[in-house]
């Protein structure tokens, strides 16, 4: 669906809905409706998005396709250039995968820091127990 495409393009650039809504001259709530499929994108908005993302307007318009998204359904629509389809999806997903790798590395670092703090806390608790004879 076009709404999934609009969302993927925005997420690939790690942008907030408000930024794209401003670009399109609409409120964030109206843009959210585009991403959620509650409203259809008009030609002017598709042109602005295509210019901003440097792709063709066809990425955002569903004139000749059903509501099925080939990425979700796992199939390519008849007449879709397979190479172009996969290159576009790879271009959209690559920044997301890079961001996920970065976040996973941050989480791994946080996990190590928490383990160190847990050991330090355990030492403090042991000292308190020995000093005051209190079992926790």
Q: Are 35 and 10 in contact (CB under 8 A)?
A: yes
Residue 52 has pLDDT above 80, yes or no: yes
Domain of 89: which CATH number?
Answer: 1.10.260.40
Alpha helix ranges (H) inside 54-81: 70-73
pTM over 0.75, yes/no: no
pLDDT for 89 beyond 70: no
Q: What is the pLDDT of residues 100-127, one digit of tens each?
A: 888 888 888 899 999 999 999 999 999 9
Boundaries of domain holding 96? 2-132
Q: What pLDDT was estimated at residue 44? A: 92
Question: Number of folded domains in the chain?
Answer: 1
pLDDT at position 76 is 42
Confidence of residue 66 (pLDDT cuts 50, 70, 90): very low
């Amino acid at each position: 669906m076009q709404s999934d495409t609009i969302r993927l393009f925005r997420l690939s650039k790690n942008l907030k809905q408000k930024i794209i809504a401003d670009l399109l001259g609409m409120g964030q709530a109206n843009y959210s409706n585009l991403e959620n499929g509650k409203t259809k994108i008009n030609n002017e908005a598709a042109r602005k998005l295509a210019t901003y993302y440097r792709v063709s307007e066809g990425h955002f318009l569903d004139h000749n396709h059903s509501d099925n998204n080939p990425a979700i359904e796992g199939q390519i629509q008849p007449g879709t250039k397979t190479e172009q389809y996969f290159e576009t999806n790879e271009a959209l997903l690559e920044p997301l995968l890079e961001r996920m790798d970065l976040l996973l590395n941050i989480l791994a670092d946080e996990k190590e820091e928490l383990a160190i703090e847990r050991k330090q806390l355990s030492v403090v608790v042991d000292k308190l127990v020995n000093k005051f004879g209190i079992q926790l």
